[in-house]
Amino acid sequence: MAPANGAGAKDNAAALQPSELTPPLEDMKVRWDGQEASGSGMKTFDSPRFGMVRDGGARAHTGVDLDAPVGTPIFAVADGVITLARYNDPMLGSDILLMFRPTASMLTYLIGVGSAASNGVLFANYAHLSAVFVETGQRVARGTMIGRTGTSGNADQKYPHLHFEIRKTRFPGIGAAGLGNRIDPEVMFKVDFSTPVEAVTRPK
């Protein structure tokens, strides 16, 4: 699609129409972090999830890491506007920020679980990408392929994945201080934990 016109197109939240949601990946599986749970012989999924889950609960993770080989297509989760498309962030690498407005029923649900944004507008962040197919200010339709996954930024090169966030504000801060302005993506999107983690393999 062509970039949206008008000086306020990329930041005009008032112009956004409510949209149904679709997952950012066709296959929504949490990334295996390569660590074994003590005494169980199984690998743990905790570190790639949202919240104070790293370094024994001492360090925050601001999104969810979804298992995805390099080059996996990513999709716009809703109708919206691209407010950021960049290629060289030291942490996030190539990443995309999509501004959207969820439906009234989803907003009611988010209010019920204490996760709503004050103006009803949210931002989906896709990070560590290998390709970006959109531009800042561009309007996109739900389900549009907007890029491909990768290992850019500070991503672990051994475990390619999509770092995916839902934000209440465009730039909510980093670390533990930024968790309050984000929503656990698992509140809005179903993530599959059913596949035995030993089945998730990557070249060493």
- For the record, the structure tokens of 88 come out as 């060289």
177-198 pLDDT, tens digit per residue, is 778 888 888 889 988 766 544 4
65-109 pLDDT, tens digit per residue, is 888 899 999 999 999 999 999 998 999 999 999 999 999 999 999
29-42 pLDDT, tens digit per residue, is 877 655 555 555 44
Average model confidence (pLDDT) across the chain = 81
pTM of the model as a whole: 0.83
> What domains, with CATH codes, occur in the chain?
13-170+182-188 (2.70.70.10)
Q: Is the pLDDT of residue 58 over 60?
A: no
Q: Is the pLDDT of residue 52 over 60?
A: no
Average pLDDT over residues 112-129: 88
Average pLDDT over residues 55-68: 73
Least confident span in 4-8, 114-118, 150-154: 4-8
- What confidence score (pLDDT) does residue 127 get? 94
**What is the C-alpha separation between 77 and 22, in angstroms, rounded?**
5
